[in-house]
Each structure stands twice: as structure tokens, then as C-alpha cells.
Amino acid sequence: MLSIEKSYIAQMITRMNFQYTLILCLSVMLVTSCGGIQQKKVSYPSKPITYLVPWAAGGMTDMSSRMMAVTLQKYLGQTVNVVNRTGGGGVVGHLALSQARPDGYTLGAVTVEITQLHHMGLTDLNYENYTPLALIINNPAAITVNIDAPWNTIDELVEAIKSDPGNLQASGTARGGIWDIARVGFLDAAGLSSSDVPWVPSQGAAPALQELIAGGVDIVTASLSEVDALRKAGQVKTLAVMADERLSRFPDVPTLKEQGIDWSIGGWVSVCAPAGLPDDVRMKLDSAVYEASMDEDFIQNLTQAGSSLQYLGGAELSEFMKAEDASKGVLMKEAGLTN
């Protein structure tokens, strides 16, 4: 039975005229591309929206942005297409969003890197190139060590660093990346110098954790959600999280602040539009993004994927980015991370 059907399909495809198919494809493409020309003046949004993501498919930014796009679709009544524009440590995608027309038909994810890249001299872009709409997730950094490490609290770790500066090494991402800055800030707040725990660059949290388990580095400063699987597997232990208060999903992990070290930092993902978005479009998007952020499915899916959700509206987000930008500028200069 199966083989009869199969050969029938094969024959059908065989008989299809190749040129005919090609012409058909081309004419469909032509017709669809003409659609854009005849825009009538109707209320926003009247056509599909593009959602630019500056990081590769499969990562945390991509996953949260795709969820936001799907949910926004529900509240805007238009298709929202996710497009990954990767490369250049996030520069390429962030640049593409800043250069898009501010008409509300190009939105995108702006991530924590926008407050770091220009300090490193990789681009002139900064948070002022965007119209902030909302903060979606903010995953706090954490201090994780090998399960066999002799330290069980932050105090013991800080003592170990003080007694032999420069001996312990930390990793988690590239040089000047968010978890590197988390390390610098932690050492600064604990009264140490950034050279007391040198940074070993890595291509993200997973290779750094591999090094941690293999004994290549001593400390990983990536977020709790990234180390959670290995924590549950009993390979690593997390001494502290760099958040203002304990995370609801990890009530057993203390914060740095509880232990007298005043420092918190996280890797965040926001949704933004290019700078200069008209007010009427902005108001419509503000409320749609707010509704999407409060959507039950959206919250449930992202929480289960291990993200810490934090909603901030446009004005608050703007203040938040400004403060982050300033504090990181000072830290990165001190640590010699600016080129």
C-alpha cells in the first residue's frame, strides 16, 4: 500500500514541468512584491511587522523574542516576522534596527550589549538610537564553582581570592561581555581589583561550564538559568546570585547584597523601535507590548525555559538603559576593557 502511494508521488513530481514551476514561482514573487507599493492611509498596523533579532536562532534572546513576536501578533492583529541579523558581536543587528524607518513596521530586540559595545569602541551606536518600548527579561549573573571546590560561601571565596590574588580564574563569555563585567563589578564591590581574578574568554556559557567541570577555570559568572542543568546534576554549586532579591525559582541561592556586597547585574533583552517613532504608533505599540508581556502563555513559557521576567515600560526602560550605560562605562574603563 505504502509503496504504491510512494511511487505515485514520485511519478507526479517527475512529470511536473520544470520551467513551468520556475515561471510560476517567479510570477508569485513579482505579485507579492508589488503589494508594498500601493499603501493606503489606514490605521497602524496595516501590514506585517518585521522583528529584528541581533543574535542567532536558538539562544535566549532569539527564544524570548520569538515568543514576544508570536504574542504581539495576537494583540496587534498583524503577522510579526522574526528575522535574525547576526554577527559582529551584535553590532550588525543593532545597527540594522537603528537604521530602519521609524514607522512601527520594524521592531527588534535590543540587548544588554548596547550598553557595552560603544565603550569597547566597536561601534558608535548607543541606547539613544532607539525608541524603548519594554524590557522583557533580565537574567541576573551568578557565581558558580565546581562541586568539589573548597568554598561554600561567598565569604570563603573572597578570602581565598584575597590570600592569593591572581591565582583563581573566571570565565563565562568573551572579553568585555556581560558576564565579564559582572566579574569586574563583583570584585570592585568586594573591595578587590579586577586583576585579582583574571578573565579567561570563552564563546558563551556552555564552553565556560565545560572548562569549569574539566578543572580549567575556577569560577563561572553566567546566569543561573544557564547553569541550572549542571547544578541539578550535582556537578557545580552556585554561591550567590547578583540580583536585588532572591529569585523565586531559586530560593536557596542567596544574593550578594545579603552578604554585604552591594552589586547586582543581569543580561537583559528588550523590545525597541528605531529612534523617532511617531507618538500615535508608539502609544499603540506600548499598550500591545504591555498586554503581550502580561499574557499568561507568554509568562509561563518563558519562565519554564528558565528566564527571569522583568517588565519595564518605555520611560522606565530609558532610565534603566541610561544608568546601565553610565555604570558600565566607569567599570570597563577601570578594568581596561575599553579599546
Partner 1 sequence: MEYFNWEGIAALVLGGLYGCIFGAIPGLTATLAVALFIPIAFFLDPIIALPAIIAISSVAIYAGDVGSSIARIPGTPASAAYLEELFSLSRTKGPLYGLGISAMGSAVGGIIGTVLLIFGATAIASLAKQFSSFEYFWVAVLGLTAGVFASGGSSLKALASLLIGILFSTVGIDPTLGFPRFHFDNPNLLGGLNYIVAMIGLFGFAEVIEHLYVGRKKVEAENQPQGSAIREFYIVPLVFLLKEKWIVLRSSLTGVVVGLLPGAGADIGSWVASSVQKMNARVNDKKTEDKAVLAGTSSNNAAVASAWIPALSLGLPGDTITAIVLGVFLMKGITPGPLLFDEQPSLLWSLYITFILANILLLPVFGFLTARIAATLIKVPFSILLTAISAICIVGAYAINNSLFDVWVMAGMGVVAFVMRRGGFPLAQVVLGMVLGPILEQNFMVSAIKSRWDMMSFFERPVALLLMVLTLVIVAVGVRVKGRLG
Q: Where do contacts with partner 1 occur on this chain (CB under 8 A)?
A: 2-3, 6, 9-10, 13-14, 18-19, 22, 56-58, 62-63, 66-67, 69-70, 83-89, 91-92, 95, 120, 122-123, 169, 174-176, 198, 200-203, 206-207, 209-211, 213-217, 225, 228-230, 232-235, 301, 304-306, 339
43 vs 285: CA distance, rounded Å = 13
Q: What pairs with residue 240 in β-bridges? A: 143
Q: What pairs with residue 51 in β-bridges? A: 82, 107
Q: Is the CB of 78 or the CB of 86 nearer to partner 1? A: 86
Q: By three-state DSSP, how is residue 107 classified?
A: strand
CB of 26 to partner 1, least distance (A): 9
CB distance 101 to 36 below 8 Å: no
CB of 327 to partner 1, least distance (A): 20
CB of 206 to partner 1, least distance (A): 6
139 vs 17: CA distance, rounded Å = 54
CB of 315 to partner 1, least distance (A): 30
CB of 80 to partner 1, least distance (A): 11
Q: Is the CB of 124 or the CB of 280 nearer to partner 1? A: 124
Q: Is the CB of 151 or the CB of 298 nearer to partner 1? A: 298
232 vs 235: CA distance, rounded Å = 8
**CA–CA–CA angle 111, 128, 317 (5° rounding):** 55
H or E element, residue 135: strand 130-140
User: What size, in residues, is the chain?
Assistant: 339
Q: Is the CB of 51 or the CB of 320 nearer to partner 1? A: 51
List all residues 6 or more positions away from 238 whose beta carbon is below 8 Å from its beta carbon.
Answer: 142, 143, 144, 224, 227, 231, 250, 253
CB of 144 to partner 1, least distance (A): 13
Q: Is the CB of 148 or the CB of 280 nearer to partner 1? A: 148
Q: Give the residue from 227, 307, 230, 295 showing the smallest Cα distance to 63.
A: 307
Q: Is the CB of 139 or the CB of 264 nearer to partner 1? A: 139
